[in-house]
Amino acid sequence: MTAGPSGVGIGWRPEIAGFVAGLPGLRFVEVVAETVAPAGPLPDGLAELRARGVTVVPHGVKLSLGGAEPVDPARVAHLAGVAAALDAPLVSEHIAFVRAGGLEAGHLLPLPRSREAVAAVVANVRRAQAELPVPLALEPIAALFDWPDDELNEGDFLTEILDATGALLLLDVANVHANARNRGGDPGALLERLPLDRIAYVHVAGGTEQGGFYHDTHTDPVPAEVLDLVRELCDRRRPPALLLERDGHYPPAAELRGELDALAAASSYPVIT
Amino acid sequence: MAGPGGRHAQAPGGGDLAGRQAELVAALVAGGPLPPGFATAPVEAARRALLRKRAGDVARHWPLLAAGLGDAWPATFAGWAAGRPTNGSLRDGWDLARELRDRDTLPPLGAEELAVREAAIRYDGRTAPRPRRLPAVARAGGAVAAQLAGRVRLLRPAPR
């Protein structure tokens, strides 16, 4: 098994594969698990990164661990297969649901912060863990709305799930910012309540204001408030690794390098550009 | 979809997570009513954000279709996709392109992309598209494409 993620990394996407391959200090990337075929050849560029010893973390987006129905065994098997094909140290997925009643949402949807939802997530995480060859890290999502019947606050909701499953935490500071901005709450107070020692790595991404909401688009530059939150997190307890996510509207290489450098500066990890 | 007093209208915390999740997804992607207790404006903002994200995903699978529509792409896609759950970006774009073709509003770039796709891949509109094994000719909006032994060529561009 390869080493766990460390330092500054970037989300590997086919559109920026050339840029990513040219980063001299790169030690880890993340790939969307659903875009990799476990049995087939790895996407162009990803195999070369593995040959260079770069750690690749498969990141699932369609498992629907928060669904009330049992997680689809074929999707778990796919994630497990991708982890094996990439010799990954861990995999990650979201605390969310993406389908229900036979309908695909096409997006990560929030759960009620209820005991019933905790039980549903825990059951699905255990089902997944039983089949996965490596540890699983769970990522809380950004959401524009809450369910009407929350029984727990966000910190307790996450901590109960992590405690019951032993899963690692993938903390997205842009999501923390977005949720505080859209749903209220103090991002610092959330960091206070989360088991920061359980963080495997951290996501950082850009978003934009639209219609009175902050949208975590991954298509915009990382705003100053999110970098401030990275600094605040690192002051409390610096996570082992931080990863820049960019999906679509890829900027010129100089701008992407600037974003990676800003992330390195905010976390005091070595620059990788 | 069940409203107040309906099958899923249990009290908060009443233990029907599956039904309530199904109601929420239906409200977001299938034109269903907003389940009780949810705030209207944030859920509506999420519904619109979801359509924008889908439009971007479909544009990556159908770049010429999206480019052909230009500034009209987001609204055209959203108008078609609202209330219509996704079948995946490939099929969503395919279904939209066929609908625009049938309405005679498919732009030339989109017509050429559709013709090339139809020559290469068999899609019945209901199940997952499959590569064609036999030679095929496909037409869309005046564009003509042909596939022979897996190689696809645009024989005639769509009229500008």
pLDDT digits over B124-159, tens only? 999 999 999 999 999 999 999 999 998 999 999 999
Average pLDDT over residues A143-157: 93
Q: Give the model's pLDDT for residue B9.
A: 44
Model pLDDT for residues A228-254, shown as the tens digit of each residue:
999 999 999 999 999 999 998 899 999
Q: What is the pLDDT of residue B14?
A: 58
Q: What are phi and psi of A202, to 5 degrees?
A: -125, 140
Give me the count of residues in chain B: 160
Nearest CA in chain B to A69: B18
Record the tokens describing residue A239, joined without a space: 């996570």
Rounded mean pLDDT, A179-202 = 93
| Distance, CA of A88 to chain centre | 15
Q: Measure the CA angle with vertex A113, ends A60 and A137; round to 5°.
A: 30
Backbone angles phi, psi at A172, to 5 degrees: -105, 110
DSSP E strands: which ranges in chain A?
7-12, 28-32, 55-59, 91-95, 97-100, 103-109, 136-140, 168-172, 199-205, 208-210, 213-215, 241-245
The model's pTM: 0.91
Q: What does the pLDDT look like over B98-133, one tens digit per residue?
A: 999 999 999 999 999 999 999 999 999 999 999 999
Q: Which residues of A touch B50 (CB under 8 A)?
A: 105-107
Write down the pLDDT at residue A88.
Answer: 97
What's residue B2's pLDDT? 38
Q: How many CB atoms lie within 10 A of CB A22?
A: 11
The Cα–Cα gap between A56 and A47 comes to: 10
pLDDT at residue A71, rounded to an integer? 97
pLDDT digits (tens, 9 = 90+) for A54-87: 999 999 999 999 999 999 999 999 999 999 999 9
A151 touches chain B (CB under 8 A): yes
Res A126: pLDDT: 98
A83 membership: H or E segment, kind and range: helix A73-85
Does the distance separating the beta carbons of B17 and A116 come in below 8 Å? yes
Question: Is it the case that residue B68 has pLDDT exceeding 90?
Answer: yes
Strand order in the sheet with B143-148: B136-140, B143-148, B151-156
Rg (CA), chain A: 17
Q: How far is CA B110 from CA A154, B52, B92, B139, B143, in A?
A: 45, 19, 14, 12, 9
What is the average pLDDT across A104-121? 96
Which residue did the predictor score with more confidence, A158 or B3? A158
Q: Six-digit token pair at A121?
A: 């997530």
What is residue B155's DSSP assignment?
E
At residue A1 the predicted structure's pLDDT band, cuts being 50, 70 and 90, is low
Nearest residue, CB atoms, B85 vs list A103, A145, A147? A103
- Report the complex ipTM: 0.93
| CA–CA distance, B129 with B121 (Å, rounded to integer) | 6
Helix ranges (DSSP H) in chain B:
17-29, 40-61, 63-69, 73-81, 89-102, 108-120
Contact partners, residue A41, CB within 8 Å, separation at least 6: A47
pLDDT band with cut points at 50, 70 and 90 for residue B1: very low
Instruction: Give yes or no for A69 touching B (CB within 8 A).
Output: yes
The yes-or-no verdict on residue B8 having pLDDT over 80 is no
Chains A and B form CB pairs within 8 A to the count of 97
pLDDT at B5 over 80: no
Instruction: Quick: pLDDT tens for B26-63.
Output: 999 999 999 999 999 999 999 999 999 999 999 999 99
* Cα distance between residue B33 and residue A73, in whole Å: 31
The confidence band for B6, taking pLDDT boundaries of 50, 70 and 90, is: very low
Q: Name the residue among A67, A213, A215 with its Cβ closest to that of B21.
A: A67
Which strand (E) or helix (H) includes residue A75?
helix A73-85
For an interface test with B, give the residue of A35, A115, A144, A182 to mutate (most B CBs within 10 A). A144
Whether residue A174 contacts residue A227, with contact meaning beta carbons closer than 8 Å, is answered with no
For residues A101-109, give the mean pLDDT. 93
Q: Is the separation of the CB atoms in B133 and B150 below 8 Å?
A: no
For residue A174, the surrounding DSSP H or E stretch is helix A173-183
Q: A9 forms bridges with which residues in the sheet?
A: A243
Contact A121, A152 (CB under 8 A): no
pLDDT at A40 over 80: yes
